[in-house]
Every structure is written in structure tokens, then in C-alpha cells.
Amino acid sequence: MVTILIAGGATGIGRASMRAFRAQGDDVFLVDTNRVEAEAACREAGAGRARALVGDLRDPDLPKAAVAAALDAFGALDTVFVNAGLLHAAALADWTLADWQASLMVNLTAPFLFAQAAAPALRGSTNPSLLFTSSTGALRGHAGMPAYHATKAGLVGLCRSLADELSPEGIRVNCLLPGWVDTPFNSPFWSHQSDQRAAERDLVAGIPLRRQGTAEELATTVLFLASPAAAYITGASLVVDGGYTAV
């Protein structure tokens, strides 16, 4: 049994990962801004225990408070999975500085602060791991989403730097790069399209597997990266996208 902190786990990939970790007996400490869904996630059946802290990842004090609360709840930390993300879509002229800074804080600064806060606790684990959800958006671009693509690319760089610094201490640091996953997270992108049905049809046609992925499929990769089976993987950016970036 190990202890996992998931930042951004009330819905989508985070929620599916929480279920998968708990199913194998791991304890999960969830951090999310969505109180209703976070509490619902903790009420779900699972072999591992679940606790939640509600907070806004735009708050720079939240990562340190969340790590302290997780240690208070379970006594240890083995994996910190920073999955929270902010996707804002608008024409370039309509972006405000506040929009840009919010994306930067949630998508890039919060993962850095979680790593900084969690590193001392992770040193006590026999299989310590930091895992960030980046995106194939780090490799490709879409109009209307400059902050998302810039921050997700930055997260890959952060992962590599932290891997070089922390891996000698045994703390592995990796990035998950999901492709198109059918969750509500992508709603801002679809809303930005002039013809949503046509856009989705064209998108799926460009994916070699001819479909979007599911949160559950990504959760299996999260479990692998956090497990001892991935003991020699660090500084990696693992793409799970149905072939989207291969063509």
C-alpha cells in the first residue's frame, strides 16, 4: 500500500487514476477546486482510503498546505501526480493578461511548487515519483490556445530539469502527454470552433486509431509510471495519443 497525492483529480484523468490507485489498495489524497466532485470521489468504494482538500491551484500557498495535509492524513507520500490544468480558448486580440497569468499559474507554476513542497517527503519513500500531466499540445499547436500550448511545453522542460536534480536522490520525475481524451476538459476548445461537429469529425479522422482516448486508458499509464515497474524511467515524456502525433 502506498500513498498518492493527486492535484486535479475530481474529474477526467485524475478521477479515473484515483479509482485505479484505490482499487489496488493505495491511499489517495485529492486536491481539487471542485468541492462537489471531490467529495463524491472520496465517497466511491475503494480498497484504499481517500481524503480531499478543496483549494484553488492559482493560490501559491496551496501546494505546501496540500502536502502537509496529505502527510497529516496518511503519514507518508510516495507519488505526487499534478494533473490539474486550465484550458482557455480565445482569439489572440481577446486574451487578457489575467487570462495568461491564470494559465501560467495552474499549468506550470503549481507543478513547480508541488515539486518543491513534496520533495522532502518523497525522499522517505522506497519508490518516490513525481508525475505531471502535460499534453500533446506541448508538441503541436492549435489556434486560440497560446497559453495552454506554451505552458504544457514548459512543463516538459520542468520535468527534465527536475529529473536531473532529483533522480540522484531516487525521486523519478516524468510527464504524461495525453492526446485527445473524451472528457469535459476540452469543452473550451470545442466551443471555440465555428462548427463543432465538423471539427470533431476532422480531428478523429486525423488520429490513426480513429477515436479519442478515455480517461481510464490514461489512468493505466499513470499507474505504470508510479509503479516499481517504471523504476528506470525518469525525465521522460510519455505520449499516449492513439498515434495523433505520429502522423
Beta pairing class for 172-178 and 237-240: parallel
Which class for 54: exposed (0-12), middle (13-18), buried (19 or more C-beta within 10 A)?
Answer: middle
| CA dist., res. 99 & res. 240, Å (int) | 28
Query: In angstroms, rounded to a whole number, what is the distance separating the alpha carbons of residues 18 and 6?
Result: 8
Cα–Cα distance, 110 to 129 (Å, whole number): 17
Per-state percent for the chain, helix, strand, coil, to nearest 5: 50, 15, 35
For the chain, the maximum distance between any two Cα atoms, rounded to a whole number of angstroms, is 52
Could you tell me if 232 and 167 are in contact, meaning their C-beta atoms sit under 8 angstroms apart? no
Known catalytic residues are: 148
Query: Between β-strands 79-82 and 237-240, what pairing exists: parallel, antiparallel or unpaired?
Result: unpaired
DSSP secondary structure letter of residue 105: I
Q: Strand pairing of 50-54 and 79-82?
A: unpaired
Question: Kind and range of the H or E element at 173?
Answer: strand 172-178
Residue 88 near residue 148, CB atoms below 8 Å: yes
